[in-house]
Amino acid sequence: MDRLPKAPPFPIGTRLRYTGTSDMAIIAPDQTRVPVLAAGLEVEITETRPGYCGTLRPVPGDWFDEEPPLDTTQDGYSVFYVDVPGAKPFGRIIWPANASEWERV
């Protein structure tokens, strides 16, 4: 068995402001640029997902290099959505390793 998974970094309903340095955007159907990760972006956590404890056994499947990856632990994560004009909301994940890039509002 692999290590125990970390819990999601923020509970549902938490309001956050991004303080990191990444700048990501998507282009909406109406050709407008919609920031999904930028300094000062304020969001609210709407979902959390639990982690998964890996077995460290090979993952079944056909692997071209003949060495299958191992089933490793996935930490829990928090999810927020950004509204995109003319499209469904765009979901983003916050992993425990990236929690320091966010501050509570």
Answer whether 84's CB lies under 8 Å from 26's CB: yes
Q: How far apart are CA 71 and CA 79, in angstroms?
A: 23
Residue 61: predicted pLDDT: 85
Is 71 a domain residue? yes
Question: What span, in angstroms and rounded, lies between the C-alpha atoms of 54 and 71?
Answer: 5
Q: Is residue 53 in a domain?
A: yes
Cα 88 to Cα 10, 53, 82, distances in angstroms: 23, 32, 9
Asked whether residue 4 is assigned to any structural domain, the reply reads: no
Contact 55, 2 (CB under 8 A): yes
- pLDDT of 14 reads 98
The number of distinct structural domains making up the chain is 1
Q: What is the pLDDT of residue 49?
A: 96
Confidence of residue 92 (pLDDT cuts 50, 70, 90): very high
33 token code pair: 């640029």
Distance CA(48)–CA(52), nearest Å, equals 13
pLDDT at 13: 98
Q: What is the mean pLDDT of residues 65-76?
A: 90
Confirm whether 3 is domain-assigned: no
Residue 33's domain spans which residues? 15-104
Segment 11-70, tens digit of pLDDT: 999 999 999 999 999 998 999 899 999 999 999 999 999 999 999 999 888 888 778 889
| pLDDT in the model for residue 103 | 97
Confidence of residue 99 (pLDDT cuts 50, 70, 90): very high
